[in-house]
Amino acid sequence: MKLIGRIRCLFRPHKRSHSRARQVEGVYHSVCRHCGTAMYRDRDRNWRVTR
């Protein structure tokens, strides 16, 4: 499933996992539900890939 998810995320945006979202020091962190890439929520409430 992860291989298909990684291929999917090459062509479409990542989607965060609702169940794995956690708040750490005032910043929300989660992972992509398809490929497992780490993500965070920015000040504008948009989810970004952690670099």
Per-residue pLDDT of the chain (51 residues; tens, 9 = 90+): 578 888 999 999 999 999 999 999 999 999 999 999 999 999 999 999 998
Please state the domain count of the chain. Answer: 1
Report the distance separating Cα 11 and Cα 28, nearest Å.
25
Quote the domain boundaries for residue 29: 2-49
Instruction: Name the one residue in this structure whose structure tokens are 């989810």.
Output: 47
Instruction: Name the one residue in this structure whose structure tokens are 């979202």.
Output: 21
Q: What per-residue confidence (pLDDT) applies to 4?
A: 86
Q: What per-residue confidence (pLDDT) applies to 46?
A: 96
Show the beta-strand stretches assigned E in 1-51: 22-24, 27-31, 38-41, 47-49
Q: What per-residue confidence (pLDDT) applies to 6?
A: 87
What pTM value is reported for the model?
0.81
Q: What per-residue confidence (pLDDT) applies to 5?
A: 85
